Chains A and B, each alone.
Chain A
Amino acid sequence: MPLVEGGRIVEDRYRRIDDDAPIPDRVPVIVPAKRFLADADELVRRDGSLGVAWPNDRRVAELAPWLGHLALVALDFPKFRDGRAYSQARLLREHYGFRGTLRASGDVLRDQFHFLVRAGFDSFEVKKPADARVFADVLARYSVYYQPGADGRVPALRRRLQGAAVPNAREPV
C-alpha cells in the first residue's frame, strides 16, 4: 500500500506495532490506541517518534492530554463511505491544535483526496497504487472551495469580500 506525503509517494518511516509485539527503540512506530492508553506515560518517554492508530468510534478527546508528545496520529477509514475520521481530523487540528502528522489509513481512494487534505490530513496510505500516482493531479481538479477547512485556505465567502479574483495558485500539501 503506497504512502503519499508532500504530494509524492514516499517510503514509510513508521513501523506498525501489533497489540503484543515488542516495541523497538529509536524506530518510529505506530501503536494501537488501546495499547497506547494502557501504557501512555511510559510510551511517551521512549526514545523515537511515536504514532497512535486511533479508531473512528472513540472520541479523540481521550487522546488530548498526550498530543504534545505524539509525532503522528493515524485515523481509520474502514470503508470509503464511513466518514467519521474527517470529524476526528478537524477536531485534532482545529480544536486540539495538533501539529504532528495526520495519516489517513484504510479504504483511502483518489476521490477522497481533496476532502482529506481539507480536513487536515497530510499523510495518506492509499489503497490502490494507480490512485497514489495521480495524487497531485487529482488535487488540482479543484481551484476553489466555499468553506474554511483545516488546510488554512481562505474560503470563497471571505475572499469575495476581499475582492479577490478566482485563485489559481495552490498551496502545497
Chain B
Amino acid sequence: MYVYDAFDRTLVAERVAEFRDQVARRLSGELTEEEFKPLRLMNGVYLQLHAYMLRIAIPYGTLSAEQLRMLAHVARKYDRGYGHFTTRQNIQYHWIKLAELPDAMADLASVGMHGMQTSGNVVRNITTDQWAGVAPDEIEDPRIWAEVIRQHVTLHPEFSFMPRKFKIAVGASAHDRAALRIHDLALRLFRNGAGELGFEVMVGGGLGRTPYLAKTIKAFLQKRDVLSYVEAVLRTYNQFGRRDNIWKARIKILVHELGAEAFAREVEQEWQNIKDGPLALDPAIVAEIAGRFRYPDYQRLEDGPPELAAARRADRRFDTWLGNAVANHKLPGYAIVTLSLKPEGGTPGDATAKQMDAIADLAERYSLGEIRVGHEQNLVLPHVAQRDLPALWRALDDLGVATPNVNLVSDIISCPGLDYCSLANARSIPIAQEITRRFRNLDLARDLGRLHVNISGCINACGHHHVGHIGILGVEKNGEEFYQITLGGKADEDAKLGTLIGPAVPYAQVADVVEDIAAAYLELRQRPDELFIDTVKRTGVEPFRERVYATR
C-alpha cells in the first residue's frame, strides 16, 4: 500500500478546492455546460443518459480497508447505494448530483482518493497486475513503477491536452494479468540475458473501432530511463498525433501510419536529448517511493495447514470455491482470494455499500487490511492466511461474493452499456445477466473450463470484446440492437484479437448463440483439458460458425 505524504495530500486538497470553485461557477451560470465540460472531465465527471457519473481512480488497483469504506460511504450518501468497478481499476458512481460532487470529492480526498486522470485527454489511471506484490511469478512489485509514473504525469503541464486519452499499464510477471498489449503504452519488467532488470516498451495497442496490439519499440530500457522514455513517447504523440478526427486520434493510429520503426526513431531522437536531464531516475528517488509502500507484517506460516484439509473434506461447496477462487501466494501459508462480483443475474462489477463495508471489515480481519481491484471487475483479498480460508469463505458466501465462477463462462467482463452510457448503441448488462442464468449450473461451467466472455455496448470497446475468448459487441441496425460475435481473442502474454464468426444476431438470440458455441466446443475439444481458447486456435472459427448459423 502506498502511503500518501504531505505533498500528495496537499495536491489532492488543492484539486478539490479548485473543482468546488468550478462547480460553483457552473451552478451560478458563469460557466456554460460547454465551458464546464473539459473541466469536469479532468476530474472524472461525465454527463451520462440520466445523471452525472463520477469515476474515481484506484491507482494500480490497490485499496486499503479505510478507502473501501469511504467508497461505500460515497455510494450510500451521494449515490443509490452501490458502485461499479470498471475494467480499468476505477470505480464509477452513476447517479451523482452536480451540487454534491465537491462534497463527495472532499470525502474521498480525506482518504487520498480523487478523479484526476480518470477522463479527458491525459494519461489515465495507471493499471497493473491485481496480484502485484504477492504473485509467485513476479520479478519485482510493478506498483512502484506505476506510482513513479503516476506522480510524474499527474497534472502534467505538457500532456494535459493530448490528442486523445492515453492508457499505461505496467507488468512484472511471466504471466500477463494486466493486458499489456491492449494499452497505448505498456512496460514489462523482465531480466535480460545479462541478468539485468529493465523494461520492454510497447506502444500503440488499443481496442475501439480499429483494434491493434501494441508493438515493441524498445527491447530493453534501463530502469533509470523510465520517466525520460515515457516523456519522449508522450511528447512525440502530443505533437504528431492526429487531431483532425477523434476516431484516428489515439497513438495506435500514429504508430500505424508512421510505422512502428519510424515512430521508434522519432522517440529515440527526442529521448537522447532528455535522458540525462532531470528525469533520469536516481536510485534514491525510486527507493524513496518504494519506501512508502507499506508491506504487511506477514507471519511465518506453512502451506497446507491441517484445518484447511479438514474443511475441504467436510464441505464440498467450500472445496469447490477453494479450487476456483483461491490462488497461490508468494509466501508459504498465505493465499490470494478472488471475490466474484459476478453472481447469477447480477451486474458485472457492481458492489453495494453494504458489501463494500463488509469486505473492508473482512480485509482487516483476514487480509492485512488490503483489497485489490482487477481488470476483470472482481475484487481480491491478497494476503489471506490459508488457515483462515474456511471462516473467510463463510463470510464471503453470506455476502454473495463467493460464486465459484472465477475465469469461467459467467465471470463476464462488461461495460455499463445502454442502461447508463450515452455512447452505447446497445445494452450490455442484461446480456451478461442472461448468460449467467443460462450457465447457472456450475458443473457445466466448470466442465467448460476457462472461458472469458467480454461484452461491449458500442465500438468504443470498454468491455474489451476484441480480446474475449467470446467477444460480444452491440451495434444498432435500423433502431434495433444487434450483436456481433468474435471468437479467439485473448489479452494475456500471447495476446490476440478475436475473429468475427458471421452476421450480427438480434438481442434475444445472444444467449442462445453463446450456448451453441459452448456446446460446439464440448464436441470439438480433443481432450477435457483442452481449453476453449486452444480449441478455437486449433480449429479456427469455421466449425463454430457452422454450428451457430446452421439454424439461423
Q: Which residues of A contact B (CB under 8 A)?
A: 59, 80-84, 86-88, 90-91, 94-95, 109, 111-112, 114-119, 141-150, 155-161, 165-166
Q: Kindly state the separation between the CA atoms of A146 and B116 in the bound complex, as whole angstroms.
A: 14
CB-CB < 8 A to B429: which residues of A? Answer: none
Tell me if B7 and A144 are in contact (CB < 8 A).
yes
Tell me if B7 and A119 are in contact (CB < 8 A).
no
Residue from the list B17, B18, B156, B238 in contact with A84, Cβ < 8 A: B238
Do A146 and B162 contact each other (CB < 8 Å), given the known contacts A87-B235, A87-B239? no
The interface-forming segment of B277-285, B341-349, B476-484 is B277-285
Rounded to whole Å, the gap between the CB of A134 and the closest CB of chain B is 10
Do A81 and B284 contact each other (CB < 8 Å), given the known contacts A143-B14, A148-B278? no
Rounded to whole Å, the gap between the CB of B482 and the closest CB of chain A is 33
Q: B143-185 interface mask toward A, CB cutoff 8 Å, 1 = contact, 0 = none?
A: 0000010011111111111100000000000000000000000
Residue from the list B10, B38, B285 in contact with A161, Cβ < 8 A: B285
CB-CB < 8 A to B274: which residues of A? Answer: 94-95
CB-CB < 8 A to B279: which residues of A? Answer: 148
Q: Kindly state the separation between the CA atoms of A95 and B269 in the bound complex, as whole angstroms.
A: 12
Chain B contact residue count (CB 8 A cutoff): 40
Q: Kindly state the separation between the CA atoms of A161 and B308 in the bound complex, as whole angstroms.
A: 46
Do A80 and B7 contact each other (CB < 8 Å), given the known contacts A144-B14, A147-B152, A158-B285? no
The residue on A at minimum CB distance from B35 is A109
CB-CB < 8 A to A150: which residues of B? Answer: 157
Residue from the list B11, B158, B277 in contact with A86, Cβ < 8 A: B158
Rounded to whole Å, the gap between the CB of B112 and the closest CB of chain A is 14
Q: Which of B7, B22, B282 has the most CB of A within 10 A?
A: B7
Tell me if A141 and B161 are in contact (CB < 8 A).
no
Rounded to whole Å, the gap between the CB of B109 and the closest CB of chain A is 14
CB-CB < 8 A to B35: which residues of A? Answer: 109
Q: Kindly state the separation between the CA atoms of A118 and B157 in the bound complex, as whole angstroms.
A: 6
Rounded to whole Å, the gap between the CB of A170 and the closest CB of chain B is 12
Pairs across A and B, CB under 8 Å, 30 listed: A83-B158, A83-B238, A84-B243, A86-B159, A87-B239, A90-B157, A91-B235, A94-B274, A95-B273, A111-B38, A112-B161, A115-B155, A115-B160, A118-B157, A119-B158, A142-B14, A143-B14, A144-B7, A144-B11, A146-B7, A147-B157, A148-B279, A150-B157, A156-B7, A156-B151, A157-B152, A157-B285, A157-B288, A158-B278, A161-B285
